[in-house]
Amino acid sequence: MMYEIHLYVPKTGRLTPAMLEWLFENGQRTDQPEIFWPVRRLEPRALARHMLRLDPYLRAIPTVGQDVELHYPDPNMGIVLYLHDRGVIIFFPYLAYSVYSRVVLGICYTYMRYLYDVAGFWSFDPQLNVISYADDFQSLEDTALLMDKLIPKQLGG
């Protein structure tokens, strides 16, 4: 089971619930004029080059169209950054609250913080229903605690 965090660059400088609702309803449509989009259009390949400067060990994998997947070099970590024309989705496995989960979350937090600092990305955690900017370390702690709470249920415990 994968955990995901969505990152967007809001045109207004702040991500709001109304923007996320619009994205949920219209994000897959191609007929929406640019003026209606609450988040900036991105160039996934250019963004991938920036991410590779931060972490040259990421492996870039082409996907559909211009989208790019960046895989963390250690496949045991399970971290994938999916870059698309409106944002980034960071995927990582649900992990029990442990040192290992802290390492994975710390790596993801580093990527989130970098994207916030260089381009103003805000994050949305759909599992916690939390919008934050990258220096919100409490959201990271909440994510770790949520995973700790859900893992026993997933394992039938």
Give the model's pLDDT for residue 93. 87
Burial 88-117 (b: 16+ CB within 10 A, else e): bbbbbebbeeeeebeebbebbbebbbbbbe
Residue holding tokens 């496995």?
A: 93
What's the CA gap between 11 and 106, in Å, rounded?
27
DSSP secondary-structure letter at 13? Answer: S
Nearest-10 crossing angle of helices 44-54, 99-119: 120
Residue stretches of the chain with pLDDT short of 50: 157
Domains and CATH numbers, the chain: 2-151 (3.30.310)
End-to-end CA distance of the chain, in Å?
A: 16
Q: What integer pLDDT is reported at residue 20 of this predicted model? A: 95
Residue pLDDT, tens place only, 120-136: 999 998 887 888 865 55
Model's pTM, two decimal places? 0.86
Q: Which residues of 30-52 are buried (b: 16+ CB within 10 A; e: fewer)?
A: eeeeeeebbbbebebeebbeebe
- Backbone phi, then psi, for 69, in 5-degree steps? -105, 135
Task: List the Cα angle 29/115/68 in 5-degree steps.
Answer: 50
Adjacent-strand bridge partners of 83? 68, 88
